[in-house]
Structures are given as C-alpha cells and as structure tokens.
Amino acid sequence: MHHDKDFEGLATPIECEGRDYGNPIQQDTEINHVDLDEEFVHHTEKYAWWAFLAEHAKAEVNELKNQLEIAYAQLDHRIRDKAAKHAVEARAKKQTPIKYTEKMVENEVLLSDEYQEILTKYNNARRAAGLAAAGQASMQHRRDMLLQLGANYRTEGGSDPVILKEEAKRKAAERAAAREERESQGEPPAKRPPGRKQTA
C-alpha cells in the first residue's frame, strides 16, 4: 500500500490551457479487490479521462513550443535591427560601433522578459504533459492488473468477486462484534499493526 508521501511529486495539480484539472492519480490507481465488478465498470471512464488530459496537455506543449520559436525569431530580428541602427548612428558621430556577435544576440534574446515568460509557460506545460502521460500509463497498468486479478479469481476455484465482497463484509461484522464484546468486558482495544486502517 502506498503512503501519501510516495505520491508527493505526482500529486502536483495538472494545469492545461489555463484550467486546473487537479491530479487524482492516487485514487484512480487504487483497486478494491473485493469488488472487481465495480472496478471493471469504472475503469474505462478513468482511462478516457487521463487519455483526454494527456492529449490536451501534449497539444498545449506543441502550441507553446511554436510560440517560443516565433518569439525567438522576432526578438532576434529586432535585436539585429537595433544593432544595425546603433552602428549607423555611431559612424555618423565618427565613433566605433559595437559589433554584435551571434552569441551576444542569442543571449539578449534568451534573457529578454518576453522570451522568459513564454519559456516558463512552456516548461510548466511540459511538466503537466508528463504528469498526464504518467496518469494515462498508470491506467494501462491498472487495466492489466484488473485482468490478472480476474484471471486469478477464476483460477482459484472460480471465486466470485461478489461473494468475496459479501465474505469480507461478514468478517468485518464479526470483528466489530468481537471488539464490542471485549470492550464491554473492560478489555483494552487491540492494537492495530502500523499502517493498517481500522475496519468498522
């Protein structure tokens, strides 16, 4: 069983096209072993949600990459044009003009506020697309797990998940009754193993 701290990186909200989609990857990857019918029914909609999000996030990355390339070209032209005008003005004043090298032009483009703003959006979109792709891949693994669990139940004497669910409820009720009996007789409640949830 994963603990919340194991999902700290993946739990980062996914923002795509200005909308916060949250990040339900932990709850979506969980499987209730005693109710596989329900898990199979809802798996398709979970997979579809992650596939939708992954495609939209990927499209936003491509759009921002295009914007970044356009911004670079426009800034490059603007800086070279400015350098050429300064050179003409310097010669008119009988001064030696500053010679812009390719590296100087590149650095001025990359460090400009306009370019940095788009670059930040692009990097955020890439992170969101990576998280969405991880969610979609997790749904594929989840499907494989569900199929394997279903096969295991059939192999183990044709166990019916619905029967297993009822059996789990019965055992939980027996444990609750036994606990109430112990407490009514003044016995302290039994300690639970660390990391296990108490069953009602």
What is the pLDDT at residue 198?
A: 47
User: In the predicted model, is pLDDT for residue 5 greater than 70?
Assistant: no
| Residues contacting 59, CB < 8 A, separation 6+ | none
Q: Quick one: 132 exposed, middle or buried, by C-beta within 10 A (0-12, 13-18, 19+)? A: buried
What is the pLDDT at residue 113?
A: 95
In angstroms, rounded to a whole number, what is the distance separating the alpha carbons of residues 179 and 183? 6
Which region holds residue 83: left if phi is over 0, alpha if psi is between -120 and 50, else beta? Answer: alpha
| Extents of the domains making up the chain | 9-159
The CA-based angle 153-36-14, given to 5 degrees, is 130
Bigger pLDDT: 15 or 55?
A: 55
Its pTM stands at 0.63
User: In the predicted model, is pLDDT for residue 187 greater than 70?
Assistant: no
Beta bridge partners of 15: 20
* pLDDT tens for each residue of 86-105: 888 878 888 877 888 899 99
What is the pLDDT at residue 10?
A: 58
Bigger pLDDT: 108 or 33?
A: 108
